């Protein structure tokens, strides 16, 4: 039904290619390993796919056809801030901290693109609430 289709389109908040690395896994510090990743923000979940090979306009319309996610991040109770200089020498780096105590750095060379992601993630967290 058209109504159902509209709901699906709305739930996909953002998708694109970002550089990312996980730095902490539930409190345990990890060695940084940056990689480029097809990234999808949908329904309060941020999903990083293994690589960006499968990114395409078609994939945007068919998220289920993408490869297995490498990380699925539940945004409820998460925080996103601009990373301090000691976290990375890269520019335009966001730090995402999850409620379970994991941390990710997210980066794009384009300030405009990263700002758009920052707003989308903040909005998504805001819609979910803290509890």
Does position 76 interact with ligand I3S (CB under 6 A)? The reply is no
Does position 34 interact with ligand I3S (CB under 6 A)? The reply is yes
Q: Which is nearer to ligand I3S, 32 or 54 (CB)?
A: 32
What's the closest the beta carbon of residue 90 comes to ligand I3S, in angstroms? 5
Answer for which of 27, 89, 130, 131 binds ligand I3S (CB under 6 A) is 89
Within 13 A of 92's CA, how many CA atoms are on the CB side? 15
**Contacts to ligand I3S from residues 91-110, by CB under 6 A:** none
What's the closest the beta carbon of residue 113 comes to ligand I3S, in angstroms? 18
Q: Which is nearer to ligand I3S, 39 or 124 (CB)?
A: 39
Using DSSP's 3-state secondary structure scheme, residue 69 falls into strand
Cβ neighbors of 102 (< 8 A, separation 6 or more) are 22, 24, 25, 26, 73
Does position 32 interact with ligand I3S (CB under 6 A)? The reply is yes
Q: Which two tokens stand for residue 20?
A: 């990312």
Mark 22-41 as b/e (b = at least 16 C-beta within 10 Å).
bbeeeeeeeeeeeeebbbbb
CB-based contact 32:15 (threshold 8 Å): no
Q: Which is nearer to ligand I3S, 31 or 62 (CB)?
A: 31
Residues that bind ligand I3S (CB under 6 A): 32, 34, 88-90
């Amino acid at each position: 039904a058209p109504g159902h289709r509209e709901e699906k389109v709305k739930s996909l908040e953002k998708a694109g290619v970002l550089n990312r690395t996980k730095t902490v896994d539930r409190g345990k510090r990890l060695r940084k390993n940056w990689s480029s990743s097809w990234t999808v923000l949908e329904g309060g979940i941020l999903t990083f796919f293994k690589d960006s090979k499968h990114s395409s306009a078609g994939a945007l319309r068919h998220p289920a056809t993408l490869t297995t996610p490498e990380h699925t991040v539940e945004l409820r109770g998460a925080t996103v801030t601009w990373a301090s200089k000691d976290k990375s020498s890269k520019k335009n780096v966001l730090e995402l901290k999850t409620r379970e105590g994991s941390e990710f750095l997210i980066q794009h060379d384009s300030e405009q693109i990263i700002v758009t992601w920052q707003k989308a993630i903040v909005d998504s967290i805001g819609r979910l609430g803290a509890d």
